[in-house]
Structure 1
Amino acid sequence: MATMMPYRQVCKVIDSTLQTIITKDCVLKAVKFVEKLLKEKERYRFYLEEPPERKKVKKLYVEGDGVMIKSTDSREERRYLDLTHFVIHTGSKKVSTKRYELRDKHEILQLNYDKAKYNLLDYIYNNYEVDDDTILITNSDMGKGYTSRVFKELGKALKVKKHEHFWDIYHVKEKLSSYLRKYPIELTDFALDAVKKYNSDKLELVFDTVESLICDELEDQEFQKFKKKVLNNFKYIKPAHLRNLSNRGIGIMESQHRKITYRMKRRGMYWSKWGISTMANMIILERANGLRELFFGSWRKVYSEYKEGSFSAGRLFKKTDELDKFSKPLLKNGRKWSITGIKTK
């Protein structure tokens, strides 16, 4: 319930339904216990006897974006923390007349951007077998940390032969509408139509018209910067059908954000640093029906036995060495790709 409502409200619901009185601190302790379990579950895979079986896929979809959450952490000068969010899936399937569901969906949420990127590459490599026929399809708002370059590095690390990146069409239209609203409305309509029809000449004509209306030097500098970004990245606006792809499963990030923002940004809520990460991952687990497994899964007994020293330290080091061999893709020359896409020893 803590994933859906404030802690005080959880206390009221439990009191009214179970006639049991608990305090807000009890709920907080339960959430902190989840944080402990999440860390243990992450370590648990180091102890697995065998690496997971990798699945062959024709299309692999990856989307990334950040969510700004208000923080009470006094050590931070700013009041907002950026929660990195990546979604991986293999397409969509029809589950009812008007409803589609993502296949093999996996979400990564981290406050540490570099760790999120590492976990992204690690998860894909350990769960999917990427070959010459695999198409990597990525989508983002092209903001800081989510540019086409970041996803190209991922494609190089996975050694995919074909990679299609999309500039999220919702954000493209939003940026154009927002920037052009101080000019005649017809220019916005022309610009959106140019995007819809993937017509760069028509969009350049709109920009030329805007440029002729600018009299202020500072405004012109801002416009040139905006124009350059849009035209330089126009190729990523190319619609899916012109790339012989379906648009199903592309541009899903905003809907995936919603469950996080609904719980964590309502009424101007503030969160501690650990609370942001823990609650976000709790929400993901709850939606995937994974909270019960986290609390009562057989993994806890197995992990507890290992923790108590049921095998030697030497074997533990052997297992972590083995994990290193399959946690990142190896190149033919025996080198690995770092998370930035640079070859390292």
Structure 2
Amino acid sequence: MNNKATETFGQALEKLDDQLYQKVKEKHAPGQIHSLSRDSRTISFCFGTVQFKRRYVEMPDGSRVYLLDEALAIQARRQFSPLLMAKTADMAADVTMRQAAKAVTGLTNCSVTAPAVDNIVRATGQDLALVRTQEAKEEEEAAPGKRKAVKELYIEGDAFMVRGRCTRGRRNHRQRNLPFMHTVHRFQVYEGVAENGSRRTLVNRHEVSHLNRVVAIRELAAYVMAHYDLRETTVFTGSDNGSGYEREVFADLAAGAKREIHVLDRYHLNRKITKRLAGFPDGIASRVQKAAYTADKDAMTEALDTCQSLAAGNETGAADRTEDVRLLRAYLSRNWSSIEPLADPTIYRQTWSLGCCESNHRRYTYRLKHQGRAWSKAGLEAMLRIIDAEQNADFFESLQETELLGTTFMPEVAETAEKDINLQALGLFKALPTKHVGVRHGGIGRNTSTSSAMGQLNKQLNMGSSY
């Protein structure tokens, strides 16, 4: 039945090609449309692999096209249907390429290899990149329309490293046995935190990730500008204040807001203090942390002076420990304006939620690090686009939007052809004759005593059937 279904579907596509060719010929003068050849094509769908032939037509303007490919929006040099590609890429975002290929081969009637899954992921990622680029461009050029006005808005950013594949252009890394690393830049914007028992979720979260930090900032800024009216909004921003994630960067993202408050990430603040004060007596790091979270600068200076005295009094490693205290003092002084909001009791609830960007890396790092040993730049960019679309819950919707860019996913047959196609009229799906067998009678067997419940039910049914 599977072979018959794929064969029948191929015949239906060829019939559709004939009708499209006749339609085009009727719209033009005789002799303007020429059929050059009938070329074969093989496409794998979720229900199986279909082979069919379609005409290569020369149009009056000299262009040459496949009418059937244009009607179905099937791109050139793609061996899989758009729906199968979308579902395969969606699966590959959670498991390895080999596991995704095994799942597709086992659950569908087509055979897919791991390299084919990798090609599908790259093609899907390119389509999503086209959509995101076009959306960012339209959002930047569009006039301010109906945008959401919220009281609070949160913007966070952070980066992580992913191992890349060494190519011939990176011989220094191979000679020194150093892995080449890609830097992934991630930004997220959300409206708050919703609590459901002990579970917390971010409200209307939108994520943007890219290997180019400038591109990621541009897409996030376009999204915020198109969806939010910040004139009466307090924007809370958070990061580790590293290179490329300074307070000035987030001030540009929150331009036009009523108020912008930047907070240093708690995780990185605690890690910096414990790392620099490792080896000091117990309680010293706690004093520094308490001074930071209460924004007590005098207590902070006193605690660091104590650390410096302890470091100087220790003969072993005095220089190293003194240097650690000096670096910690410079770090806290440099980021003090971003630490002070942590002690403000009026915004304690808002600042407490900042820092979740670090924990949200897990959705990316688990796939890109634990399930992916090394990535090329093109493969990593494609996978980032797919995971972003999944996190934003607009994966299939974004692929459908590629129709605006000439790469339609899950297309429908053209309206002119849809009215004229009748599969039963084509003789492809004829109803098989059925033989009427008459009315079937049933009854309860007499294998129980008449006094039992089943026996009484049998007696009543037999009495009713006698009338």
Pick the TM interval, shorter chain: 0.7 to 0.9
Q: TM-score, normalised by structure 1?
A: 0.78
Give the AA of the match of 1:40. Answer: L
Whether 1:84 aligns to 2:188 is no
2:355 is paired with a residue whose SS is: coil
Q: Aligned partners of 1:34, 1:116: CA distance in 2, in Å?
A: 19
Q: Who is 1:253 aligned against?
A: 357
1:118 is paired with a residue whose SS is: helix
Structure 2 residue aligned with 1:141, among 240, 252, 272?
A: 240
Give the AA of the match of 1:101. Answer: T
Structure 1 residue aligned with 2:345, among 226, 242, 249?
A: 242
Structure 2 residue aligned with 1:56, among 124, 136, 149?
A: 149
Query: 1:178 and 1:268, CA in 2 relative to 1: closer, same or farther beyond 3 A?
Result: farther
Say if 1:34 and 1:278, in contact at 8 Å, map to a contact too: yes
Per-residue Cα deviation, 1:139-194 (whole angstroms, up to 9, x for no partner): 11111111223223434xx1323111110111111111111112112212222333
| Deviation of the 1:20 alpha carbon | 4.9
Higher gyration radius (CA): 2
1:302 is paired with a residue whose SS is: helix
| Deviation of the 1:112 alpha carbon | 0.9
Q: Who is 1:32 aligned against?
A: 122
1:1-345 → structure 2 map (5 Å cutoff): 1-18=91-108, 20-45=110-135, 53-74=146-167, 75-76=169-170, 79-94=180-195, 96-131=196-231, 133-155=232-254, 158-215=255-312, 216-217=318-319, 219-237=321-339, 238-239=341-342, 241-247=344-350, 249-266=353-370, 269-295=373-399, 297=400, 299-304=401-406
Q: Who is 2:60 aligned against?
A: none
Q: Aligned partners of 1:305, 1:22: CA distance in 2, in Å?
A: 22
Q: Aligned partners of 2:138, 2:332: CA distance in 1, in Å?
A: 48
2:261 is paired with a residue whose SS is: strand
Unpaired segments ≥5 residues, structure 1: 307-345
Q: Who is 1:343 aligned against?
A: none
Give the AA of the match of 1:227. Answer: R
Say if 1:102 and 1:249, in contact at 8 Å, map to a contact too: no
Give the AA of the match of 1:208. Answer: D
| Deviation of the 1:277 alpha carbon | 1.8
| Deviation of the 1:12 alpha carbon | 2.5
Q: Aligned partners of 1:30, 1:198: CA distance in 2, in Å?
A: 52
Q: Aligned partners of 1:305, 1:17: CA distance in 2, in Å?
A: 26
Q: Aligned partners of 1:180, 1:301: CA distance in 2, in Å?
A: 57
**Number of aligned pairs?**
300
Query: 1:121 and 1:287, CA in 2 relative to 1: closer, same or farther beyond 3 A?
Result: closer
Query: 1:221 and 1:240, CA in 2 relative to 1: closer, same or farther beyond 3 A?
Result: closer
CA RMSD of aligned residues (A): 2.7
Q: Aligned partners of 2:244, 2:234: CA distance in 1, in Å?
A: 22
The structure showing larger relative contact order (alpha-carbon pairs under 8 Å, at least 6 residues apart) is: 1
Give the AA of the match of 2:276. Answer: Y
Give the AA of the match of 1:154. Answer: L
Q: Aligned partners of 2:347, 2:130: CA distance in 1, in Å?
A: 43
Mean alpha-carbon deviation: is it higher for 121-130 or for 133-142? 121-130
Q: Who is 1:328 aligned against?
A: none
Q: Aligned partners of 1:267, 1:120: CA distance in 2, in Å?
A: 28
**Kindly, what percent of the aligned residue pairs are identical?**
26
